[in-house]
Structure 1
């Protein structure tokens, strides 16, 4: 599904994947109240409470009933055609004037069209920050991936990889539906939780910042991220590939741990719910966390990171 130029040592992967993590009952690294995501998202609910009330009144239910209804979707509802949802997600964005509009030939072209209508900030790092996009486009898919990985060889604080079109389509849709999540990182006999947040920053580019959850809860938008991940879909339509790279933002996290967090981020957001029960569980955890579903469990989160699919 995806590859990473920096391969984790076998002993690290075996320890994380096969050995069941033990979280002490008094785990100091687990922020208080995490098993009740609604507390963590109280600020979000406050921000959108008027919209929630309006929707609840329109449907003739209470706000609590509306949230419960949203949280009680069946697993069958989560089985989707990723390309179909990419098209629907982007259809909500501003459309070009009718005289200039042309029907997209494929869902991937719909992604490209929606991206091309976005404005890019001068401060946004896109693919052109790292490579000559025009020159790279002259190569085939395998050569593009090889050149991209060579670009980051021997980098001390950076690593990279690539996603095929199917995986990127799922990630794109899930990142729009579920823009925030938490990722567990093994720390001794327990885990430290990291908060991830996606942003759609410009043409063909989306970013994700990964920050210690405890620090994010304390400083909110002023919290300092440990890892920044960038996804580039410039070649998605013509080459069927999306490139990604990540950068360590400080020396508070090791390269191995940064790679592990990034790999788990990709595994959750590219999960195919039609593929297996484990993949459906990953999507369900994304939904639970973003809807404030009180059934969200860190134990289930840790268990999901132990599966290979």
Structure 2
């Protein structure tokens, strides 16, 4: 259906369609997805930090083909392999070669995450996997290949430096009554 359309037209259609829905979606440039995909093949999982009212909640992101499944660390620790995914990012690379774009959408468990939180996790995939900063991607490599050297506080530091988690926590003043 979109074969005759330009990348820009497809992007507009995708954004327009999903803007009315309560979900996460994106149009990823082919070069950025290439980098992300190459790295995901070498390092298929990572630990992501989601700002919460009291600190952070950790989610493990695990690639399965072009799907990226996020599960809270606490659920993995308590339920193991049977722990359900709270968020799945679906990447559609069918238009990558011809149009230079990869479409992405998500499925989320709204009992565990709101759209802004899911968006924060999705943005972190780009932050850690598609970065030009070698120190940032090195955290992913360490998590996958040298887990004993991995420091989860480095993820929080990187997240705070990037500013991606801003706006997810209620302001300190809102607690005072």
TM-score by length of 2: 0.86
Question: Are residue 151 (structure 1) and residue 17 (structure 2) matched?
Answer: yes
Deviation at 1:308, TM superposition (A): 3.5
Aligned to 1:191: 56
Flag structure 2 segments of 5+ consecutive residues without an equivalent.
164-177
Q: What is the CA deviation profile of residues 21-57 of structure 1, one whole-angstrom value per residue up to 9, with x for unaligned ones?
A: xxxxxxxxxxxxxxxxxxxxxxxxxxxxxxxxxxxxx
Aligned to 1:137: 3
> Secondary structure of 1:211's match?
strand
Partner Cα distance (1:251, 1:149) in 2: 25
Show structure 1 runs of 4+ deviating over 2 A: 292-295, 306-309
Aligned to 1:291: 145
Deviation at 1:161, TM superposition (A): 0.6
Q: Determine if contact 1:281/1:304 at 8 Å carries over to the other structure.
A: no
Partner Cα distance (1:261, 1:183) in 2: 7
> Could you tell me which of 229, 238, 249 is aligned with 2:98?
238
Within 5 Å, give how 1:151-170 maps onto structure 2.
Answer: 151-156=17-22, 158-170=23-35
Deviation at 1:160, TM superposition (A): 0.7
Flag structure 1 segments of 5+ consecutive residues without an equivalent.
1-134, 201-205, 273-278
Q: What is the CA deviation profile of residues 225-281 of structure 1, one whole-angstrom value per residue up to 9, with x for unaligned ones?
A: 111101111111111111111121242211111111111122211112xxxxxx212
Question: Are residue 218 (structure 1) and residue 78 (structure 2) matched?
Answer: yes
Q: Determine if contact 1:181/1:196 at 8 Å carries over to the other structure.
A: yes
Partner Cα distance (1:165, 1:155) in 2: 24
Deviation at 1:291, TM superposition (A): 1.2
Q: Determine if contact 2:7/2:101 at 8 Å carries over to the other structure.
A: yes
Instruction: Give the number of equivalent residue pairs.
Output: 163
Deviation at 1:306, TM superposition (A): 2.5
> Secondary structure of 1:138's match?
coil
Larger Rg computed on CA atoms: 1
Aligned to 2:159: 305
TM-score by length of 1: 0.51
The structure carrying a bigger strand percent of its residues is: 2
Change (3 A) 1:226 1:268: same
Deviation at 1:166, TM superposition (A): 1.2
Q: Determine if contact 2:24/2:118 at 8 Å carries over to the other structure.
A: no
Question: Are residue 248 (structure 1) and residue 108 (structure 2) matched?
Answer: yes
